């Protein structure tokens, strides 16, 4: 069925290739009625997207994607329907932004020690106004001819355990969930199929998790069925999105390729408000 809402989208505010304005215009061309801007560790792209969305009749959900770590597993959490001006969220995002800069400096130092002639200025140029991340480093390596693609750069140098990798600041899922809910949002486990540790779901629910990203570009049909069953079993918000970043040599995550159809989006909005109402109780516990 036709996707009308893509609830996982990145822009140049983090590591996306298109500006918030360009993403919303593309969403209009795709026939979407709703879009969630979920940049990594920042809410900087939301205001621009909402202004354009208002003019084009597209509902823009303010969101964020937080990278956390649990028992050496990288867990990504989506905060959907957040209040971008939340003080507690702002404090957390500012700390994460500073840690990103320090991490990228160390990664660049590692690469230079391995003979790759890149510098921090080139990484920052790729990042634009966004806080730098590993994709920006990878794009510099591709641009300078060291790697054929972003995927190759990650698989060769930038993934955990590889020569240029540097540990990130270890934000826990519990802390991220609390920050999302304190900002009025609903916390969803993003692309759980990439982690392949489904037994963690009950722990995260105990920590306040409210939703599950069932539909995602990297989920197989069998994984969709499995996560749909789990979401229904635990009465979680069912979400879905493309995880769109823009067109690169090796990216196949097209905007609106995955997401929610009209019926699922209607149910999403209804359950979202029910979950959101529980945040006051969560904060007072």
Q: Are residues 280 and 231 in the same domain?
A: yes
The four Cα atoms 127, 129, 133, 137 give a dihedral, to 10 degrees, of 20
Q: What is the pLDDT of residue 280?
A: 59
The reply to whether 163 falls in a domain is no
Do residues 9 and 88 both lie within one domain?
Answer: yes
Distances (CA, A) of 76 to 139, 194, 204: 22, 10, 12
Residue 177: inside a domain: yes
Choice among 121-125, 264-268, 269-273, 275-279 with the minimum mean pLDDT: 275-279
What pLDDT is attached to residue 284?
A: 41
| Residue pair 22/257 in contact by the 8 Å Cβ criterion | no
Q: Token pair 């320090």 is at which residue?
A: 102
Please tell me whether residues 147 and 251 are part of one structural domain.
Answer: no
Do 177 and 280 reside in the same domain of the chain? Answer: yes
pLDDT digits (tens, 9 = 90+) for 140-163: 999 999 999 999 999 999 999 999
Domain boundary among 114, 132, 158: 158
Residues 204 and 88 in one domain: yes
| Three-state SS at 8 | strand
- Look at residue 195 and tell me if it is in a domain: yes
Q: Residues 56-67: what's their mean pLDDT?
A: 97
In this structure, what DSSP letter does residue 220 have?
-
What pLDDT, on the 0 to 100 scale, is given for residue 285? Answer: 44
Q: In Å, what is the CA distance from 14 to each residue of 45, 136, 229, 230?
A: 8, 9, 32, 30
For residue 282, the model assigns a pLDDT of: 56
Do residues 210 and 280 share a domain? yes
Classify the phi-psi angles of 35: left when phi > 0, otherwise alpha if psi is within -120 to 50, otherwise beta.
beta
pLDDT-based confidence at 14, cuts 50/70/90?
A: very high
Span 233-259, average pLDDT: 88
Across the range 66-77, mean pLDDT stands at 94
Domain C-terminal end among 136, 158, 180: 158
> Coil, helix or strand for 69?
strand
Does residue 67 carry a pLDDT above 90? yes
Residue 165 lies in a domain: no
Does 98 fall in a domain? Answer: no
pLDDT band at 281, cuts 50/70/90? low
Whether 112 maps to a domain, the answer reads: yes
Domain that holds residue 130: 104-158
Cα–Cα nearest to 122, from 96, 245, 132: 132
Give the total number of structural domains in the chain.
2
Yes or no: say if 185 and 81 are a contact pair by the CB < 8 Å rule: yes
* 178 and 256 both lie in a single domain: yes
- pLDDT given at position 277: 83
Pairing verdict, β 59-70 and 237-241: unpaired
Is position 164 within any domain?
no
Q: Which CATH number goes with the domain that contains 206?
A: 3.20.20.140
Residues 82 and 176 in one domain: yes
Quick one: average pLDDT of 259-263?
98
Q: Kindly state the average pLDDT of the residues 246-266.
A: 86
244 three-state secondary structure: strand
> Is pLDDT of 13 > 90?
yes
Q: Is the pLDDT of residue 84 over 50?
A: yes
Same domain, yes or no: 53 and 121: no
DSSP state of 40: B
Measured CA to CA, the distance from residue 97 to residue 101 in angstroms comes to 7
Strands 73-80 and 186-189: antiparallel
Are 123 and 88 in the same domain? no
Whether residue 139 sits in one domain with residue 24: no
Structure pTM? 0.89
Cβ neighbors of 35 (< 8 A, separation 6 or more) are 5, 6, 7, 9, 23, 24, 27, 49, 53, 58, 59, 60, 61
Is the pLDDT assigned to residue 251 strictly greater than 90? no
Where residue 136 sits, what CATH number does that domain have? 1.10.150.650
In the chain, what percentage of residues exceed pLDDT 90? 89
Domain presence at residue 223:
yes
Please give the pLDDT value at position 48.
Answer: 98
Q: Are residues 132 and 226 in the same domain?
A: no
Domain boundary (138, 158, 178) is at 158
pLDDT of residue 248: 65
What percentage of the chain reaches a pLDDT higher than 70? 96
Answer for the pair 268, 236: CB distance below 8 angstroms, yes or no. no
């Amino acid at each position: 069925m036709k996707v009308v809402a893509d609830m996982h989208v990145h822009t140049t505010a983090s590591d996306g290739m298109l500006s918030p304005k360009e993403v919303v215009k593309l969403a209009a061309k795709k026939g979407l009625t709703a879009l969630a801007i979920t940049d990594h560790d920042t809410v900087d792209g939301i205001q621009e997207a909402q202004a354009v969305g208002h003019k084009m009749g597209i509902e823009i959900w303010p969101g964020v994607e937080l990278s956390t770590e649990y028992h050496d597993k990288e867990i990504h959490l989506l905060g959907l329907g957040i209040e971008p001006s939340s003080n507690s969220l702002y404090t957390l995002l500012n700390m994460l932004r500073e840690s990103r800069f320090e991490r990228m400096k160390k990664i660049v130092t590692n690469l230079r020690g391995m003979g790759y002639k890149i510098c921090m200025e080139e990484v920052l140029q790729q990042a634009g106004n966004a806080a730098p991340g590993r994709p920006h480093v990878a794009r510099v390596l591709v641009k300078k001819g060291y790697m054929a693609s972003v995927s190759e750069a990650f698989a060769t140098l930038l993934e955990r355990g590889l020569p240029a990798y540097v540990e990130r600041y270890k934000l826990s899922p519990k802390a991220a969930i609390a920050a999302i809910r304190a900002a009025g949002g609903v916390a969803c486990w993003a692309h759980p199929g990439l982690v392949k540790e489904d037994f963690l779901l009950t722990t995260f629910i105990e920590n306040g998790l409210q939703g599950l990203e069932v539909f995602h570009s990297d989920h197989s049909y069998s994984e969709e069925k499995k996560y749909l069953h789990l979401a229904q079993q635990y009465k979680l918000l069912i979400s879905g999105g493309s995880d769109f970043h823009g067109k690169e040599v090796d990216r196949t995550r097209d905007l609106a390729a995955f997401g929610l159809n009209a019926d699922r989006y209607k149910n999403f909005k209804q359950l979202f408000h029910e979950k959101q109402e529980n945040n006051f109780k969560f904060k007072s516990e």
